[in-house]
Amino acid sequence: MLANISHAPACSGSFNADLHLPFESLYKIIEFIKSELPQWRDHPDRKKETSETPLTSQLCAHLNSAARRCDGWDILQFRTEERDDKDAVRNIDLVPAPCNTNIWINGRRHVDFDYLMPIECKRLPTPKRKDRDEREYVISQYSSTGGIQRFKAGHHGANYQLGAIIGYVQSETRAFWSKKVKEWIEKLVKDKKKGWSTKDFLKPESDDVALKLSTLSSCHERDGKLPEIELRHLWIEMN
């Protein structure tokens, strides 16, 4: 795990020695976030929120605190509403980034001002409004705000091949939403919606009944000449 990687002590006005990490280290960051989701949800001092922005802000604060207290993870910081490094008019909900360290992954250098992967956050269900699509975790007929849709179009993470979506499950169950998301994608395929196929289905990876936490994965073809992107879906029941 990343905690096993040693690094030099911080010095004012300079970065630490470079860290060269394998691509697989990104999966470990996702696992770190996953492990902290129940701790964040159940924290006795956490103010109860339902809107996506304050929930993600709370989660970001918790992850930063967790990274500081967990040995080795202090090479990371987390930020919200980060500008996409390819599509500058769009913001990414949550990103992990280096903290006082240069991190190299697959020959790409990341510093404090970069991020390591894009993470989208979505409520399940989507809030009911005239301009909101109930399928917004996947796609929106009113805009390009669909969770998976943004990644497929390259609006989020065009420079990355791994990303994540955190689902705040606020009603029903994780199993209910797994079935519902599959139905939405099946309908897009049946209607021959451009760019959508059965390859976009989510696959279950793990499920923790006690913690009410599930992990799913998916792989998506993208517009233009962009390579496929893999997404990890972390769904946590908030009730």
- Domain locations in the chain as residue ranges: 17-237
Grade residue 8 by pLDDT with cuts at 50, 70 and 90.
Answer: very low
Residue 15 has pLDDT above 90, yes or no: no
Judge whether 207 and 138 are in contact, CB under 8 Å. no
Average pLDDT of the segment spanning 23-39: 97
Predicted confidence at residue 16, as pLDDT, reads 60
- Between the alpha carbon of residue 39 and those of residues 28, 30, 32, 42, 71, the distances in Å are 17, 15, 11, 5, 17
Say what the pLDDT of residue 11 is: 35
Order of strands, edge to edge, in the sheet holding 91-98?
A: 76-83, 91-98, 119-124, 162-169, 229-237, 213-220, 203-208
Q: What is the pLDDT of residue 88?
A: 75
Residue 13 — pLDDT band, cuts 50, 70, 90?
very low
Residue 1: predicted pLDDT: 53
> Is the model's pLDDT at 223 over the cut of 90?
no
- What's the pLDDT score for residue 65? 98
3: pLDDT strictly greater than 70: no
> Who has greater pLDDT, 133 or 87?
133
**pLDDT at residue 102 is higher than 60:** yes
In this predicted structure, what is the pLDDT of residue 2?
62
Per-residue exposure over 139-167, b if at least 16 CB sit within 10 Å of its own CB, e if not: bbeeeebbbbbbbbbbbbbbebbbbbbbb
For residue 36, is pLDDT > 70? yes
Tell me what the mean pLDDT of segment 35-58 comes to: 97
pLDDT above 80 for 10: no
- pLDDT, residue 7, reads 40
